[in-house]
Amino acid sequence: MKKGSVGVKPENLMPVDIPSTWKAMEALYDSGKARAIGVSNFSTKKLATLLELARVPPAVNQVECHPSWQQTKLREFCKSKGVHLTAYSPLGSPGTTWLKSDVLKNPILNTVAEKLGKSPAQVALRWGLQMGNSVLPKSTNEGRIRENFEVFDWSIPDDLFAKFSEIEQARLLNASFFVHETLSPYKSLEDLWDGEI
């Protein structure tokens, strides 16, 4: 399997029964086996539907989030409902062979990094933290792991922080492998992401 890919074929996808799945999650929470329960890759619409039926609301929604896919609408919704947003691919997964990621090469990110004397990766992570997100950067390299931890004793000043709103937005991981006109419950990317693409 390619680095960062998912071993799922459309023909193996089943329609997910979210209400009964969530009930089972709540039972785990009630039993004390899980201290918190949450979701991943939920669009605003899917999260709203879940919140309507949930007795225990999800603590977290883990989604793709970085300066080039800021999840503005979803983040506002999560905030208004007290659901924490955790960012996967906070660096835009630069080493993933099947993705064309240039998040860390973004000129605005690089200008800010240069001005602050930090690496683009550190600024991307710090941006996420200042947005109120958790960030889950991945590295197999000790030096970069250390670099990624050095984001807690400085901040991006307001004037530079405002520049992030100028960054062109594009979802990187569109998960098109979940989409199939007949075999998958998700017939199109619109369908899969409820228009948030």
Tokens of 162: 């405002």
Rank residues 67 and 92 by Cβ distance to ligand A2P and give the closer one. 92
Using rule CB under 6 A, residue 94 touches ligand A2P: yes
Q: Which of 126, 148, 179, 184 lies at the binding interface for ligand A2P (CB under 6 A)?
A: 148
Q: How far is the CB of 7 from ligand A2P (least distance, A)?
A: 18
Q: Which stretch binds ligand A2P (CB under 6 A): 11-19, 75-83, 138-146, 182-190?
A: 138-146
- Interacting residue with ligand A2P among 25, 47, 74, 91 (CB under 6 A): 91
Q: Letter for the amino acid at 121?
A: A
Q: How many residues bind ligand A2P (CB under 6 A)?
A: 18
Burial 122-148 (b: 16+ CB within 10 A, else e): bbbbbbbbebebebebeeeeeeeeebb
Q: Residue number with the shortest CB distance to ligand A2P?
A: 95
Give the residue, chosen from 31, 80, 140, 182, that forms a contact with ligand A2P under the rule CB under 6 A: 140
141 touches ligand A2P (CB under 6 A): yes
Closest contact distance (angstroms) between CB of 93 and ligand A2P is 4
139 is a contact residue toward ligand A2P (CB under 6 A): yes
Please check whether residue 4 is in contact with residue 97, taking contact to mean a CB–CB distance below 8 angstroms.
yes
99-108 long-range CB contacts below 8 Å, 24 or more apart? 99/4, 99/172, 99/173, 101/172, 103/66, 103/67, 103/68, 103/172, 106/67, 106/68, 106/167, 108/67, 108/163, 108/164, 108/166, 108/167
Residues lying near ligand A2P in the complex (CB under 6 A): 89-95, 104, 119, 121, 137-141, 144, 147-148
